[in-house]
Amino acid sequence: QKRTLSNGLIIEDLAFGPVDGKEAAAGQKVKIFYTAMSEENGRVLDTNVGKAPWKFRLGSKGNTDGWKYGITGMRIGDKRRLVVPPSLGRGEDGAVENVPPNSWVVYEVELIDVKK
């Protein structure tokens, strides 16, 4: 199922983990696997698949609002595709190496773990 939030973020559920799995919420520590792709041409911009999971506090500085809104509510084992507009991503500046300014980025995200 695909839905578009009022802030422009598009969320598509790709797979579901166990229904009794821990649910991600802002302020919690999460571990994810992700692949970031250009929405324009599908080019892979970054990935940690096959490496260690990315660990961060959901909603913390340094991570995009697109991740905060898109990962909140996921349960361990869930997979989502997030189509993140520039306003919730890297914005006018882009990211130094990979993301051009004002770019839409598609993330495929798998939630691996949630901790308080």
- Report which residue type is found at 17: G
Which structural domain, as residue segments, surrounds residue 8?
Answer: 2-115
pLDDT of res. 22: 95
Interacting residues of 61 by C-beta distance below 8 A, sequence separation 6+: none
Tokens 């004002």 locate to: 102
What's the structural domain count of the chain?
1
Q: Where are the alpha helices (DSSP H) in the chain?
A: 65-71
CATH number at residue 40: 3.10.50.40
The whole model's pTM is what? 0.90
**Tens digit of each residue's pLDDT (9 = 90 or more) over 76-100:** 999 999 999 988 987 666 565 677 7
Mean pLDDT, contiguous 10-residue spans, the chain (116 residues): 95 96 96 94 92 94 87 98 90 66 91 96
